[in-house]
Amino acid sequence: MKFPLPSLRHVSAGAAALALLGSAPALAQLDHDGALWEALFVQADLGKLDAELEGFRGWLDLHGRWRDDGEDLDTTIFRPGIGYTFAEKTTAWLGYA
């Protein structure tokens, strides 16, 4: 079964109809809502805490995000990691990011 290809006139009319139907006026947001994002970044040489951990390092990214002008906690992000220093400028890390 063969289907005839639409003519350019039909395609143009369909495109114009979609453009007119899809062009609703933009609605402005009437309420101004502020948010607060806080972050804490920590890296530590764990060998300074305990000699048995010489070469190990730790990191922590902790984020709190509040909505409704900073009144309601919305999102908390916790990203820990541990690393090992092989040389003065070479550390391998494993963690959640």
25-34, 46-55, 59-68, 74-83, range with the lowest pLDDT:
25-34
Residue 51: band (very low, low, confident or very high) from pLDDT cuts 50, 70, 90: very high
Q: Are 95 and 80 in contact (CB under 8 A)?
A: yes
Does residue 6 carry a pLDDT above 70?
no
pTM: 0.56
Residue spans of beta strands (DSSP E) within the chain: 36-45, 56-67, 72-87, 90-95
Does residue 38 carry a pLDDT above 90?
yes
CA 95 to each of CA 23, 44, 58: distance values in angstroms, whole numbers, following the listed order: 47, 14, 9
Does residue 27 carry a pLDDT above 80?
no
Burial of 85 (0-12, 13-18, 19+ CB in 10 A): middle
CA 39 to each of CA 48, 70, 83: distance values in angstroms, whole numbers, following the listed order: 25, 14, 21
Give the pLDDT score at 10: 63
